[in-house]
């Protein structure tokens, strides 16, 4: 397949491109300059510009929307919140509408486990739990984007897998004084995208089955965020921060 | 007792002009909209896409009624329905306003049109601009109600119109349609109901005036808000006998 990867300029986008490049043709997308791995193609588009996005998705069979916001958004404050809100909601709508118009049937949307941060630590968090996003748009935005994706799976023959990613941190450089139950190595996040693309959910007759949510996180001892469901895409984390958590767990 | 001061956003739209006079029996209204009022009423010019304008219009108010909407534009639907709702919520929090009445379209008919006893199912707004943006605005309301001391009552509609002036023959009454008098009453209840009566600080109500089909029920609205249609409007659609 040819797979469009958004947020190509971000580290996560680059990791996803590398992971997918083994079995797919990769087309990268961002609104600014970025490194293009050997064998990948590149395009530039603003996710809020419908015409540009329409052109970017032509001819691909799948899209991985990393949902990494543009780097040139306002740094902080109300303007940033407003920009993120538009980017995550209208931007996701523009992208998915372009997918529908182009006949793209598979989409992977990267959200965040931060929407469960407010649950106490004595609870095992699985995909069954109600998201409780805060008002801050860095976390609320990706969740609202999930909701946009879901409505497209209800209306169209489009399969979407939402991967709720843990907090991205490389295992090699993780600070043991900042241990986080939600850590996820970006390389494992990228491999989860590869796994999520394998099934064509768009063929499901029942709309509820065209939508899938999976939690993706390092499996530390006594993990709070459970990821057993992600096994159905053949994924298991390779980087579990053993030198930080050891055998004791949280 | 002095009337509560209530900001009516979207005052010049398709709905608010029909309920303004009724609301003014109960509240001291501040009308606001981006376009001129169809009846020439004085109002604040407010672009809901501009936070600073929303904030200033809400200053000194006890509650906000948000009747703003854009139904079909690919960009403005998000600006008005999503960003606008965010601005209303943020302004309320900043100013200590603890009550908002939020509005939007029904989100159940497409999924449950063949069903009965449709009370409070999960919404299915669809991906169209109107439905999905208003659905996102409801989620914003839910999140803000959880995080802050603000209670939000959300009314969802299908049809809205005036009560027929005379009995109508040869027609069934429209489903999921509310008459203006009942909407005024619902808004009054939404503003005045005790905060403790709104579970979770955010509740959504499908509102209409015509009962009898057994399709869209009003039990929750009655239980939580005390809302029931002021008159049995469906009796205006009775078939004559004899």
* CB-nearest partner of B86 from A85, A154, A155: A85
Q: Is A78 on the interface with B (CB under 8 A)?
A: yes
- B144 contacts: CB under 8 Å, gap ≥ 6: A135, B89, B90, B92, B93, B150, B152
What is residue A248's predicted lDDT score, i.e. its pLDDT?
A: 54
Answer yes or no: is pLDDT of A249 > 70.
Answer: no
A-B C-beta contacts closer than 8 Å: 65
- β-pairing, B159-161 with B63-66? unpaired
* CB-nearest partner of A133 from B125, B129, B143: B143
Answer yes or no: is pLDDT of A246 > 80.
Answer: no
pLDDT digits (tens, 9 = 90+) for A151-181: 999 999 999 999 999 999 999 999 999 899 9
Looking at chain A, which residue has its C-alpha nearest residue B93?
A135
- B218 contacts: CB under 8 Å, gap ≥ 6: B206, B207, B208, B211, B227, B228, B229
Answer yes or no: is pLDDT of B196 > 90.
Answer: yes
Contact A78 B78 (CB under 8 A): no
Q: Is A199 on the interface with B (CB under 8 A)?
A: no
CA B9 to chain CA centroid, nearest Å: 11
CB A152 within 8 A of CB A158: yes
Q: What is the CATH number for B203?
A: 3.40.50.720
Q: What is the DSSP string of B81-149?
A: IIIHHHHHHHHHHHHT--EEEEEEE-SSHHHHTT-S-B-SPPP---SSHHHHHHHHHHHHHHHHHHHSS
* CB-nearest partner of A89 from B51, B82, B146: B82
pLDDT band at residue A28 under the 50/70/90 scheme: very high
Answer yes or no: is pLDDT of A65 > 70.
Answer: yes
Q: Is A136 on the interface with B (CB under 8 A)?
A: no
Q: Which of A46-50, A105-109, B108-112 has the lowest mean pLDDT?
A: B108-112
Residues found in chain A:
250
Looking at chain B, which residue has its C-alpha nearest residue A146?
B136
B242 occurs within a structural domain: no
Contact A151 B131 (CB under 8 A): yes
Contact A89 B131 (CB under 8 A): no
Q: Is A134 on the interface with B (CB under 8 A)?
A: yes
Q: What are the sequence ranges of the domains in chain A?
A: 2-245
What is the value of pTM for the model shown? 0.95
Q: Is A49 on the interface with B (CB under 8 A)?
A: no
pLDDT band at residue B120 under the 50/70/90 scheme: confident
What is residue B185's predicted lDDT score, i.e. its pLDDT?
A: 98
Q: What is the DSSP string of B184-234?
A: HHHHHHHHHS-GGGSGGGEEEEE--S--SSSSB--HHIIIII----SS-GG
- Architecture of domain A2-245 in CATH? 3-Layer(aba) Sandwich (3.40)
In chain A, % of residues over pLDDT 70: 98
Q: Is A76 on the interface with B (CB under 8 A)?
A: no
- Total structural domains in chain B? 1
B121 occurs within a structural domain: yes
Domain of residue B122: give its range. Answer: 4-237
Helical pair A186-196 and A11-20, crossing angle rounded to 10 deg:
50
B79 occurs within a structural domain: yes
Looking at chain A, which residue has its C-alpha nearest residue B73?
A90
pLDDT digits (tens, 9 = 90+) for B203-221: 999 999 999 999 999 999 9
What is residue A138's predicted lDDT score, i.e. its pLDDT?
A: 97
Q: Which two tokens stand for residue A191?
A: 């491999």
pLDDT digits (tens, 9 = 90+) for B133-189: 999 999 999 999 999 999 999 999 999 999 999 999 999 999 999 999 999 999 999
């Amino acid at each position: 397949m040819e797979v469009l990867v958004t947020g190509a300029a971000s580290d996560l986008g680059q990791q996803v491109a590398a992971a997918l490049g083994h079995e797919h043709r990769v087309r990268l997308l961002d609104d600014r300059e970025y490194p293009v791995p050997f064998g990948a193609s590149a395009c530039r588009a603003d996710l809020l510009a419908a015409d540009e996005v329409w052109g970017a998705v032509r001819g691909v069979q799948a899209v991985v929307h990393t949902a990494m916001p543009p780097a040139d958004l306002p740094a902080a404050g109300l303007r940033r919140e407003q920009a993120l809100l538009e980017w995550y909601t209208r931007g996701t709508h523009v992208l998915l509408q372009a997918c529908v118009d182009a006949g793209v049937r598979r989409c992977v949307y990267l959200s965040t486990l931060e929407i469960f941060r407010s649950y106490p630590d004595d609870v095992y968090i699985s995909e069954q739990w109600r998201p409780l996003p805060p008002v801050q748009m860095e976390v609320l935005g990706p969740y609202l984007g999930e909701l946009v994706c879901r409505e497209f799976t209800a209306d169209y023959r489009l399969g979407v897998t939402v991967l709720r990613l843990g907090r991205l941190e490389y295992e090699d450089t993780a600070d043991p004084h900042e241990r986080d139950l939600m850590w996820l190595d970006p390389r494992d996040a990228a491999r989860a995208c590869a796994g999520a693309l394998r099934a064509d959910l768009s063929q499901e007759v029942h709309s509820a089955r065209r939508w899938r949510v999976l939690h993706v996180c390092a499996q530390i001892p006594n993990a709070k965020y459970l990821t057993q469901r992600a096994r159905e895409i053949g994924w298991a984390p390779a980087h579990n921060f053993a030198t930080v958590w050891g055998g004791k767990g949280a | 007792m002095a009337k509560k001061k209530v900001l009516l956003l979207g005052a010049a739209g398709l709905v608010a002009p029909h309920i303004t006079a009724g609301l003014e029996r109960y509240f001291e209204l501040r009308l606001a909209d981006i376009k001129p009022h169809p009846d020439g009423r004085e109002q604040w010019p407010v672009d809901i896409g501009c936070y600073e304008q929303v904030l200033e219009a809400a200053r000194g108010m006890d509650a906000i009624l948000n009747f703003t909407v854009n139904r079909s534009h690919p960009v403005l639907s998000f600006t008005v329905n999503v960003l606008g709702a965010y601005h209303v919520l943020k302004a309320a929090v900043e100013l200590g306003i603890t009550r908002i009445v939020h509005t939007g379209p029904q989100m159940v008919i497409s999924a449950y049109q063949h069903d009965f006893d449709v009370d409070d199912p999960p919404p299915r707004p669809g991906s169209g601009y109107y439905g999905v943006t208003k659905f996102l605005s409801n989620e914003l309301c839910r999140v803000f109600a959880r995080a802050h001391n603000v209670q939000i009552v959300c009314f969802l509609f299908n049809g809205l119109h005036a009560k027929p002036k005379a009995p109508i023959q040869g027609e069934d009454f429209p489903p999921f349609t509310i008459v203006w008098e009942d909407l005024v009453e619902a808004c009054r209840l939404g503003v005045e109901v005790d905060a403790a009566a709104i579970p979770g600080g955010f509740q959504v109500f499908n509102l209409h005036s015509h009962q009898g089909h057994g399709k869209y029920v009003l039990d929750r609205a009655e239980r939580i808000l005390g809302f029931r249609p002021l008159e049995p409007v469906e009796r205006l659609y009775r078939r004559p006998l004899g």
